Amino acid sequence: MITELLADLDAESRSLDEIVQGADFSVPTPAEGWTVGHQIGHLMWTDKAAILAITDPEAFKAQPLTADIVDRTAAEAAVLPDLVELWRDSRAALREHLAKAEGKILWFGPPMSPASMATARIMETWAHGQDVADALGVVREPTARIKHVCHIGVRTMGFAFLLNGLAVPEVPVRVELTGPSGELWTWGPQDAENRVSGPALDFAWLVTQRRNREELAIEAVGPVAQEWVPIAQAFAGPPGGGR
């Protein structure tokens, strides 16, 4: 499984790499205060943080987590003249470490298995890649790799409720999404009363908060599903402001 996940992570990274070739890294993106350089710099920094978590868990735990760490490290990386090369190096090194990692990996949210970490890196690369594509006026064709984004979005439902100070639902939610090639992707029991459905791309945008909820063809049936959709998020950290 990890081999396939790492292949998809490599493919997602290379797709974004192609988009930023020759791009102006000072162009602002939809994320307030972040340029294209910030986006790539953040991906590089997160790769390095994950490598540290795998190779030296004690050092990872000891690092100071200031409130501005994400914005500050992205800004510091954004101005590096060799940023793309550094990002290529960091993502290649992370793939090597994930291929050999065993057990749980410490993280800013709950500890992750190597497979979950690889899936999370696909999700984040895709999400920040969306910001870059939007900034540069590039329309990306969705691929089957967005299933990983959707999977994390489904798996983090309880986490999203907790982050918003709400009780984690005790009833299941059925999620039915249509993939880019028309295939049906499903999670949860078929007979669940609470249901979420729509295009997989729209759901991926929803859980990464890259599009406004009102722009998306996502249907929610049942009180739990209707409460979850507006707060859904696939990323760690406090609830985002959305787009």
> Does residue 240 have a pLDDT over 70?
no
Which residues have a Cβ under 8 Å from the Cβ of 43 and sit 6 or more positions away? 87, 90, 91, 124, 125, 128
Write the class of the CATH domain 2-136: mainly alpha
User: Do residues 8 and 2 make contact, with C-beta atoms less than 8 angstroms apart?
Assistant: no
User: Do 2-136 and 146-231 fold alike per CATH?
Assistant: no
Do the bridges between strand 184-187 and strand 219-221 make them parallel or antiparallel, or are there none, so unpaired?
unpaired
Compute the average pLDDT of residues 153-163: 95
Compute the average pLDDT of residues 44-53: 98
Whole-structure pTM value: 0.95
At residue 17 the predicted structure's pLDDT band, cuts being 50, 70 and 90, is very high
Per the prediction, the chain carries an average pLDDT of 96
Helices 2-20 and 83-100, interaxial angle, to 10°? 180
Task: Name the architecture of domain 146-231.
Answer: 2-Layer Sandwich (3.30)
Per-domain residue ranges of the chain:
2-136, 146-231
Compute the average pLDDT of residues 122-148: 98
